[in-house]
């Protein structure tokens, strides 16, 4: 019998209990012993549950119980999750978490602590919900250099963009619908500003390349500036707009990492990842492109990923710890985003008709390739540029303005 504790009885926490109770037999078989939830930490009262007797409001009841050797942290947020998890790892307890903020901010420190004490710190559920991605990256693709990882990592923004693309909704209307359906929080900023996707690509980048990338070091754009016009130009270009978290290993040993809405070709395997689904592309030198697709969030998918980690922990109580590890951040490890050349879509506005506007834009960008969207209106034009850095683009704003052109938006064009 393996005794575990669950910290947090919100959506994911209650899902963990549900999965454990509804799949008892198959889980015991996989874990090779029974798993029993001895304690659940939550400040709220849940008097009517079959396991109401397990609840405690005192973290000490978990920390100081030597029978509990595995602790599940599904509270979310940085504190007190970080202090509790750290204390667990310092006191001989392995930890499983679904908390992406915790892993993205404190992963290197907690992994080092786990390694030092020969414990597991596992977090499959922190990225991609029920899609297995942490384990495949760390294990199956071990015999493979990952040149690039790119993913649709946030279901809420993908739902909003899908509505904008398929039903031509404006951003605000699509957001309101997402809120109404419960896909977006009342304060949607962590999703629509790209913060959630940023935490996830940081976790994947750290794991894939062995060096911690902190969210603060990652150029992060959300989707709030994406308009119906942009969606139309993406269509004219032959693709769709998706919010992508992307990391590439560069030949100089650094990584190029960013979160941004991108033009994605309709031929790309990520182009058809719609609604609240996530899709993650892992490009390897030996495997080629491998794509993982599924529901990136939700109570039961996330809970089943947590429980799979718990099973692994139970099995590893009797043997070697798993090898999930990365080093702390290194200076200059992240390539400066502003100096990284990328293909770009640029949309400008002005007082003249579209043809004249494009002619004027071409005086500034002679290599511009024009796009004409369906329902294009006078006073706007759009075009693509190849291999331009953000700094180069910024330097062109004054000459654009001299010609009466306003830069309305610039969107990265993906290369996958």
Instruction: Assess 307 for contact with a copy of itself (CB under 8 A).
Output: yes
396: annotated active-site residue: no
**Contact with a copy of itself (CB under 8 A) among 83, 139, 189, 378:** 139
| Distance, CA of 94 to CA of 110 (rounded, Å) | 11
**Contact with a copy of itself (CB under 8 A) among 76, 80, 217, 294:** 294
Instruction: Assess 312 for contact with a copy of itself (CB under 8 A).
Output: yes
Q: Which stretch binds a copy of itself (CB under 8 A): 122-130, 216-224, 226-234, 241-249?
A: 122-130
Least distance in angstroms from the C-beta of 266 to a copy of itself: 10
The nearer residue to a copy of itself, 195 or 324, going by C-beta atoms, is 324
Q: Is the dihedral of CA 393, 395, 397, 402 positive or negative?
A: negative
The nearer residue to a copy of itself, 87 or 140, going by C-beta atoms, is 140
**Contact with a copy of itself (CB under 8 A) among 3, 11, 30, 389:** 30
Instruction: Assess 136 for contact with a copy of itself (CB under 8 A).
Output: yes
Instruction: Assess 27 for contact with a copy of itself (CB under 8 A).
Output: yes
Least distance in angstroms from the C-beta of 247 to a copy of itself: 17
HSE value, Cβ hemisphere, 13 Å, CA-based, for 315:
13
Instruction: Assess 154 for contact with a copy of itself (CB under 8 A).
Output: no
Site for a copy of itself in 366-395 (CB under 8 A): none
Pick the catalytic residue from 106, 163, 200, 242.
Answer: 200
Q: Which stretch binds a copy of itself (CB under 8 A): 21-29, 52-60, 342-350, 367-375?
A: 21-29
**Contact with a copy of itself (CB under 8 A) among 112, 140, 170, 372:** 140
Instruction: Assess 104 for contact with a copy of itself (CB under 8 A).
Output: no
How many chain residues bind a copy of itself (CB under 8 A)?
A: 52
Q: Under the rule (CB under 8 A), what is the footprint of a copy of itself?
A: 19-20, 23, 26-27, 30, 32, 124, 129-132, 135-136, 139-145, 269, 272, 284-295, 298, 300-301, 303-308, 310-312, 315, 318-320, 323
Active site residues: 200
């Amino acid at each position: 019998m393996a005794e575990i504790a669950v910290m947090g009885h919100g959506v994911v926490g209650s899902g963990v209990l549900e999965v454990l109770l509804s799949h008892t037999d198959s889980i015991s078989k996989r874990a090779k012993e029974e798993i029993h939830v001895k304690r659940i930490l939550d400040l709220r009262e849940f008097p009517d549950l079959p396991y109401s007797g397990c609840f405690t409001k005192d973290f000490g009841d978990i920390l100081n119980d030597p029978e509990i050797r595995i602790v599940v942290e599904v509270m979310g947020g940085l504190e007190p999750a970080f202090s509790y998890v750290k204390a667990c790892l310092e006191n001989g307890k392995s930890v499983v978490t679904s908390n992406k903020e915790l892993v993205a901010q404190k992963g290197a420190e907690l992994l080092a602590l786990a390694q030092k004490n020969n414990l597991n710190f596992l977090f499959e559920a922190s990225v991609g919900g029920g899609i297995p991605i942490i384990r495949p990256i760390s294990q199956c693709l071990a015999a493979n250099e990952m040149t690039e990882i790119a993913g649709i990592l946030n279901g809420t923004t993908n739902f909003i963009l899908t509505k904008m693309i398929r039903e031509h909704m404006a951003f605000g209307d699509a957001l309101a619908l997402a809120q109404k359906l419960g896909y977006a929080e009342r304060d949607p900023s962590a999703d629509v500003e790209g913060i959630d996707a940023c935490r996830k690509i940081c976790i994947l980048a750290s794991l894939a390349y062995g060096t911690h990338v902190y969210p603060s070091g990652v150029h992060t754009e959300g989707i709030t500036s994406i308009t119906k016009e942009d969606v139309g130009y993406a269509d004219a270009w032959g693709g769709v707009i998706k919010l992508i978290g992307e990391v590439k290993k560069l030949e100089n040993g650094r990584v190029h990492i960013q979160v941004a809405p991108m033009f994605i070709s309709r031929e790309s395997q990520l182009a058809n990842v719609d609604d609240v689904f996530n899709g993650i592309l892992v490009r390897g030198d030996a495997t080629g492109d491998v794509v993982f697709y599924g529901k990136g969030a939700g109570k039961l998918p996330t809970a089943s990923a947590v429980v799979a980690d718990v099973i692994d922990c139970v099995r590893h109580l009797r043997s070697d710890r798993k090898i999930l590890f990365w080093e702390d951040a290194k200076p200059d490890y992240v390539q400066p985003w502003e100096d990284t050349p990328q293909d770009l879509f640029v949309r400008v506005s002005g007082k003249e008709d579209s043809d004249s506007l494009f002619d004027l834009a071409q005086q500034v960008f002679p290599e511009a390739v024009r796009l004409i969207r369906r329902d294009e209106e006078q006073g706007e034009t759009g075009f693509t540029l190849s291999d331009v850095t953000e700094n180069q683009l910024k330097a062109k704003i004054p000459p654009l303005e001299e010609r009466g052109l306003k830069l309305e938006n610039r969107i990265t064009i993906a290369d996958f």
